[in-house]
Amino acid sequence: MEKSYEFRKLEAGDIMPVVKILKKAGVKEIIELAKPNLGAFFKEEISDEEAGERGIEIITGIVTVIFDKFETIEDDVFKFLGNVTNLGDKVRKLPLDEFADLLEEFAQKDEMAGFVKRVSRLLKLGQ
């Protein structure tokens, strides 16, 4: 099946909508979920490949928490995903399997893994 959407490159302006969604979703729960993977960034030097894999695990965990709180954050999620794709409001009309693919693809974007990696390393410097 050919996908009906394209992602644009993520930008600095995408950070605040994500923060808003995470806050509504329960950022404390998300942090608890991410701690085991973030701990590795603080305890040892890890390869870029492993950092990317751990970043994907963190993002996947975030997506799981978001699904649990979806009713609370639904409008924000659809607005954000419509904004970072070429779909706009049409994101709400995607077939379920394609919507799931979109979420999975977003979680695995190189920019997301790289963002998590860099923030984690910055946090390490602050300790």
3-state secondary structure of 65: helix
Residues of the chain with confidence (pLDDT) below 50? 123, 125-127
3-state secondary structure of 127: coil
Residue 87 DSSP label = -
C-alpha span between 48 and 37 (Å, rounded)? 14
The pLDDT value given to residue 123:
47
C-alpha span between 17 and 94 (Å, rounded)? 21
The pLDDT value given to residue 26:
77
Query: Tokens 């305890």 sit at which residue?
Result: 43
The pLDDT value given to residue 108:
81
Residues making up the chain, counted from first to last: 127
C-alpha span between 2 and 4 (Å, rounded)? 6
Q: Are 55 and 62 in contact (CB under 8 A)?
A: no
